[in-house]
Amino acid sequence: MDQQILWQTVLSDLELQVSKAVFQTLLSKIELLSIDNDTAVIGCQQPMLLNLIENRYCPLIKKTLDSYTKKNMRLVFTSKTKAVNKITDGPLFTMPRPQSNTGNFSDVRLNADFTFKNFAVSSSNQMAYAAATAVAHAPGISYNPLFLYGGVGVGKTHLMQAVGHEILKSNPSTKIIYCTGEEFTNDIIEAIGSKTTTPFKKKYRQLDLFMIDDVQFIAGKYSVQEEFFHTFNAIYQLKKQIILTSDRPPEEINKLEERLRSRFEGGLIIDIGQPDFELRTAILLIKAKQRGVNLTIEVAKLLASNVDNIRKLEGVFIRVLSESRTRNIPLDEELVNDVFGKTVKNQLEVNHVAPQQVINAVASYFNLTLSQLKGARRDKYLSRPRQILYYVMRVELGIPLMSIGDLLGGRDHSTVLHGVRKISGLLSTDEKIREDLLGIKNKIMG
């Protein structure tokens, strides 16, 4: 596998294994400088971060890299010297003028893929999309502030950054900052520690567009909330645009000061729901196109029907793509079913779910007794619930095939694997099975 593709694959996998704050603050800063035989050299431009990453996350990085290289890699961490920026003494917000309509917006750290063009719209995010486009065309006038909230992977950051792209396209000299709540906090701490609060205020209070992701992270931090309150007021009074995202609405953010809560609620607050099957399929096709992969609609539907979280869906897609390239085989439905039969994905949003809970939930959902589920009869009204049970225990909880067989009356692991693949294949075409799985998950989660 190409070194760049390998490292992007590893980073995408790591993003699924750690919190968003850890990934953005630490792991996203490292690079694979070289890989030779069994040694990988990993660099970072910030030595203090490098030590922290090596001490805390070396085993996780190694395990993930080993899984893709199929080798026992030795990791070497080294400081990567940052090139001297000759324009650091210039104006604080000077932006290079784009050379084309797409532009290069790396100075404000906007993801090049997070544009309106690449955003798939459905009923779950239609209102948020409409509000974001309105803000992009009339910043500071329509919906100020704009507060987007929702679960992981629903597109909050994508929409926020799409506004930034659209505004920069119209006016490249626009003063923009995109940061996370964690990064804003770190900036304040650094400014206080180095006695540079004046440059800090100049940096944040003279913006045309301020975008802050995961604003809930500033809650409970008195000095951070104090500075954010004044920053918010300064930008708002100049009639400049503010966009915020969170995993919950303002009234549910614990330890958020009331004066901030009231300002957040003074604009437009929109909930972005979890994407349905059709939207997940559309998003996956867009992601594949961005990677230059010709993904068929059948394979996209198969993947989207088996994974209901967008972040995890992208991770599964990367795993399947890696398998395809490593083994030099087509990325087809057979490969997807094979991967679902082997990999552990832990899709259920619950902690410490016991196998017996799943068995009881399936039995209750289909009005069956435990002896019927575990028995030897092969009637269709029994075999299909059993196959769904195999699927939930394997794909959702990651229980080994042989263990599942032992739990269900000593069945052979090949029988379990056949059931997992059967349900995996039917999910893309059978709406009833998708409804059954959702109902079972709801029973498990109470």
Binding-site positions: 153, 155-157
- Alpha-carbon distance of 221 to 215, in angstroms, equals 12
- Alpha-carbon distance of 314 to 383, in angstroms, equals 31
Phi/psi of residue 244, each to 5°? -130, 150
Q: Which residues contact 114 (CB under 8 A, 6 or more apart)?
A: 157, 158, 161, 162, 165
Task: Kindly list the distances between the CA atom of residue 94 and the CA atoms of 162, 172, 191, 202, 341, in Å, as whole numbers in the listed order.
Answer: 20, 9, 21, 13, 52
Quote the tokens at residue 15.
Answer: 């993003």
Phi/psi of residue 174, each to 5°? -60, 135
H/E run at residue 289:
helix 277-290
- Alpha-carbon distance of 409 to 58, in angstroms, equals 41
- Alpha-carbon distance of 409 to 64, in angstroms, equals 35
Under 8 Å between Cβ of 319 and 339: yes
Amino acid identity of residue 200, one-letter, is: F
- Alpha-carbon distance of 125 to 336, in angstroms, equals 28
- Is residue 56 classed exposed, middle or buried when 0-12, 13-18 and 19+ CB atoms within 10 A define those classes? exposed
Binding-site residue ranges for ATP: 153, 155-157
Identify the CA nearest to 404 among candidates 396, 366, 435.
396
CA 76 distance to own-chain centroid: 28
Task: Kindly list the distances between the CA atom of residue 268 and the CA atoms of 106, 222, 262, in Å, as whole numbers in the listed order.
Answer: 28, 25, 12
- Alpha-carbon distance of 241 to 270, in angstroms, equals 16
